[in-house]
Amino acid sequence: MHSDDRVDQFPPRRLETDRLLLRPPEMRDAQDLYGAYAGNPKATHFMSIEPYRNVAEMRRFLEEVAIPAWERIGHRGWTIEKKADGTAIGMFRFLRRSETCLDVGFVLGQDAWGQGYMTEVLSTVIDRSLDDDPIFRVEAICHVDDTISQRVMEKSGMLREGRLHKFRVYPAFGGVPQDCYLYAKVKINDDDI
């Protein structure tokens, strides 16, 4: 097997946690995701998008970006679905920065906040991805004021590695570049001890 062939080992198409199913997005998710986060200014406050004005914009995103991404290697995302009732409550995206590094991002609908869902998802993704032979690093960024995401990453075993000055533009902050924190978890080998 060539090293290039391994780039698609993680992520699998579907991944389950105790309460959630992570799966490729589908058009049927549009209404749930629009209601959960995409149309909610509070849920999109620390995202690099403006809230969508209507469910048609969510459908367009799914049709033109999220669903076709599964045909490409390296940059994909899952819908986060509650197993109990099949409701889509958020999204999780991942980008293979290199063969050894996975960059992740996540959003969860406001009604699902405070229930441990995102920590459950992120911990599972980190554990599974670091079990994949070539991946040695999982990283994520968040706005310096996004204390909720910071707590999720820290509970999931990620460490804050530094501050990235004027790193990302967030529409909620008037289009001015904002500082972000970089978090990561790295695989520890016996050689590292």
pLDDT in tens, 62-114: 999 999 988 776 678 999 999 999 999 999 998 888 889 999 999 999 999 99
Task: Please tell me the distance from the alpha carbon of residue 91 to that of residue 87, in angstroms, as a whole number.
Answer: 12
pLDDT digits over 132-185, tens only?
778 999 999 999 999 999 999 999 999 999 999 999 999 999 989 999 999 999
Query: Is residue 166 exposed (0-12), middle (13-18) or buried (19+ Cβ within 10 Å)?
Result: exposed
Residue 11 confidence class, pLDDT cut points 50, 70, 90? confident
Q: Is the dihedral of CA 74, 128, 35, 111 positive or negative?
A: negative
138 contacts 126 by C-beta, under 8 angstroms:
yes
Structural contact between residues 19 and 86, judged by C-beta atoms closer than 8 angstroms: no
CATH number of this structure's domain 12-192 = 3.40.630.30
Domain boundaries of the chain, sorted by first residue: 12-192
Structure-token pair, residue 20: 């959630």
Identify the pLDDT of residue 192. 65
Which runs of E-coded beta strand occur in the chain?
A: 15-16, 20-23, 75-82, 88-98, 101-108, 137-143, 159-169, 177-186
Nearby residues of 39 by Cβ (< 8 Å), 6 or more positions away:
51, 52, 53, 54, 55, 58
Residue 99: per-residue pLDDT: 86
Which amino acid, one-letter code, is at 138?
V
- pLDDT at residue 4, as a whole number: 37
When pLDDT is averaged across residues 106-130 and rounded to a whole number, the result is 96
Q: Which residue has the higher pLDDT, 143 or 11?
A: 143
Among left, alpha and beta (phi > 0; psi -120 to 50; other), residue 34 is alpha
Residue 117 phi, psi (nearest 5): -60, -50
pLDDT value for 71 = 77
Predicted local distance difference test score (pLDDT) of residue 74: 65
In this prediction, residue 193 has a pLDDT band, given cuts at 50, 70 and 90, of low
pTM value?
Answer: 0.90
Question: On the CB side of 20, how many CA atoms lie within 13 Å of its CA?
Answer: 26
Question: What pLDDT is attached to residue 10?
Answer: 67
Identity of residue 166 = K
pLDDT digits 0-9 by tens, 17-76: 999 999 999 999 999 999 999 999 999 999 999 999 999 999 999 999 999 988 776 678
